[in-house]
Copies of this chain bind each other. A is one copy, B any other.
Amino acid sequence: MRLFNKITIIGVGLIGGSIGLSIKNRGLAKEVTGVFRRPSTLRRALRHKAIDNGTLNIKEGVRGADLIILATPVYSIPLVGREAMRYANAGAIITDAGSTKSWVVAKMERLAASRRSVFFVGSHPMAGSEKAGVEFSTADLFEGSPCIVTRTRSTDEGAIKKVAAFWKALGGRVKVMSPASHDKSISLVSHLPHLVAFSLAGAIPEKDIVYAAEGFRDTTRVASSDPKLWADIFLTNKKDIITAGRMFEKYYADIVRALSKGDHGGIVRMLKKAKSKRDKFVYGEKT
């Protein structure tokens, strides 16, 4: 089902590449263009068939696009977004795929204020992998995964409807909320688990890792994620992550305190409460 004529993806790594593959797989656009920083990545994306054509030039890439997706690391979104905004056709919609929203949306809406005929809507498709690069992109990455689309007072109703329909067509379970609500919830269910996983992997002496099994494997999987990409995410959602961290620290300290006291009943109670929450999570059924 054709939703757009030309979709341009700026930044074609794991996420951008998976978006491209999904669009082509579902026939959602006549043409998918990629915009790259490096010729080598452009060649890899073409080889992986994640895009129909590519360019190193944003101006050229966005020409004629009715949907532009910014799929770079968070800090680069406003930088490439500024260029995209400048050269986009009148009526074009710009969205992104960044993990933090208040920071991105505020910057993008400021830029959009100077181009009334181009619309920005923030998005966060909550799928991904600890692996980086277009080689790992797949056409079903967004199938069944949560996808948050943000609404603010400046959001154009026609644009947000189209962006929501787009992610839904990619298989996402779309939720609309404010950038602030997004950042608060996602700091808890995504950013904090990453912070904790990095801390775990970092703390364990290398010589002991040979004894590690499935528990370590899963608990630290996301610690293999790209450090720069995650430093960006942490810093653009600093306040919420620190608040989320305090909630984690408190639960952790309470278990450790019960452990120090030898309080078996207290430990069981806290582990049971944790288990009952974890058992409610069902997304894991997807493999």
Contact = CB atoms under 8 A, between A and B. Distances in A.
B217 A219 contact: no
B279 A213 contact: no
Interface string A192-203: 111111111111
A204 B277 contact: yes
B260 A211 contact: no
Nearest to A267: B231
Contact of A211 (B148, B224, B252): B148
How often does this chain occur in the complex, in copies?
2
A198 B284 contact: no
A210 B238 CA distance: 22
Interface string A224-251: 1101101100110010011011011011
A209 B274 contact: no
Interface in A242-287: 242, 244-245, 247-248, 250-252, 255-256, 259-260, 262, 264, 267-268, 270-275, 277-281, 283-284
A201 to B, nearest CB: 4
B260 A224 contact: no
A19 B212 CA distance: 20
Give the secondary structure class of A's interface. helix
A145 interface: yes
A189 interface: yes
A188 B190 CA distance: 23
A243 to B, nearest CB: 11
Interface residues of A, number: 83
Contacts of A268: 227-228, 231
Contacts of A208: 185, 188-189
Contacts of A260: 238, 242
B215 A277 contact: no
Contacts of A251: 199-200, 202-203
A240 B198 CA distance: 21
A172 B198 CA distance: 28
A254 B10 CA distance: 34
A205 interface: yes
Contacts of A175: 211
Contact of A277 (B206, B234, B252): B206
B190 A212 contact: yes
Interface in A123-151: 126-129, 145-146, 148
9 contacts: A127-B214, A189-B208, A198-B270, A199-B255, A203-B251, A217-B281, A224-B278, A227-B268, A231-B271
